[in-house]
Amino acid sequence: MTSDHEEPRRRGKSAAIVAAAVCLAVVGAATVWSASGDDPRSSSRDTGAPAPTAPVAPLQPDASGTPAKPAPGQDARPFTLVATGDIIPYPSIIQRAAADAEGGGHDFRKILAGVEPIVSGADLALCHHEIPYGQPGGPYTGYPTFKAPHQLADALKETGYEGCSTASNHTLDAGFEGLKRTLDGLDRVGLKHVGSARDAEEAKAPAWYTAGGAKVAQLSYTYGTNGIPLPEDKPWAVNLTDRQRIVDDARAARRAGAQVVLLSIHWGTEWQEAPDEAQQELARALTASTTDGLPDIDLVLGTHNHVPQPYEKVNGVWVVYGMGDQVASFYTADKARGNMSSIPRFTFGPSAEHPGRWTVTKAEYLTQYSDMGPPFRVVCASCDTRYPAVDARVTEAVMSRGAGDQGLTRATR
């Protein structure tokens, strides 16, 4: 986000339990339109400048990085991955969390309760942590430099996330100290993270997960930091987008044993539902990168645009150009679509043709909405028949590049 902002456990649950929990979680949600008459299907668009993804030299081949084999004693079995978009607590959301805490700080759990069954029902769930934490007790601020309460980490953990990408244009809003507070806060509750770092060694490593017997590596990069320079003595503090570095890091993760490599990338043009040329060009280059005939990156998860963008298979690899904001509060009709997002859910299964690798065997999405209420709540729109306009608008964006013909389906629980 660079312009025109407003304030605006667990695994292995049965499908029946998850479905019941979703229904209970959203039963108290408010209607789609606010009292001011904002229309979630508004077609107004405020287009910002494209993210500066500079061209670089062509990718260089790398003969190393042979596929890893499953670790001894681990079962190779399918697993589900759920990801969600930008978490941006504007001051109104922070005030709602304070009210929900009833005098005990800030409680974001009720805000996220409507999507908890989807998140906790996955084998691996990842968020995008866009903003830094302020000092305990505040002040907590909104655009242009965000600072949120550290209790957000507790809610993310209890909602069911295993980790978060942290590279964004707002990572340095509170300076290096804010970056450090954020990663310390995520560590405190046991959430893994990647995209920003407290030291050079941490910056070199992906976030590591295990799901379905597979060793999963997550990488995270951003196009920039809103003009805030990286600390001169800490140039590694935030991962900036460079296509050769991304490929090199993916190949290094493979050599370290990764059987699935996920790329989280902060890119694109704000408020634009169609992927811009820079996104498309970078997606083509990254998904075309292979080692021994196999892709170096297995899935691309995009953030930053505020609005849901399409899904598409590029060179056989699924690319989610933009999930949209998961937690945001835009009040005017022309920005109401900034409260809509998609939730990708991909099932990975062991590859019969390439032992030691996992591939996508099922591609799904759900639709999501930041309902202004009151009270403010995040809900699963495709799980509840009271949100047909939101569900239709998000679906239109997600499917706009033919993902349905490539096997993507809409889920309702």
Kindly indicate the confidence band of residue 74, based on its pLDDT and cuts at 50, 70 and 90.
low
Check whether 288 has a pLDDT greater than 70.
yes
Rounded to the nearest 5°, which phi and psi values hold at 176?
-65, -35
Check whether 320 has a pLDDT greater than 60.
yes
Q: Which tokens go with 148? A: 């949120």
What is the overall mean pLDDT for the chain?
Answer: 86
345-386 pLDDT, tens digit per residue, is 999 999 999 999 999 999 999 999 999 999 999 999 999 999
Between 296 and 64, name the one with better pLDDT: 296
Kindly indicate the confidence band of residue 388, based on its pLDDT and cuts at 50, 70 and 90.
very high
- CATH numbers and ranges of domains, the chain: 15-35+77-410 (3.60.21.10)
Kindly indicate the confidence band of residue 274, based on its pLDDT and cuts at 50, 70 and 90.
very high
199-223 pLDDT, tens digit per residue, is 999 999 999 999 999 999 999 999 9
The model's pTM is 0.84
Residues 231-250 as b or e (16 or more Cβ within 10 Å = b): eeeeebbbbbbebeebbbbb
Give, in order, the Cα–Cα distances in Å from 170 to each of 129, 166, 246, 303, 346: 10, 9, 20, 12, 28
Asked if 297 and 261 count as a contact pair (C-beta separation under 8 A), the reply is yes
Which pLDDT does position 75 carry in this prediction?
A: 81
Kindly indicate the confidence band of residue 103, based on its pLDDT and cuts at 50, 70 and 90.
confident
* pLDDT, mean of residues 254-265: 98
Between 104 and 166, name the one with better pLDDT: 166
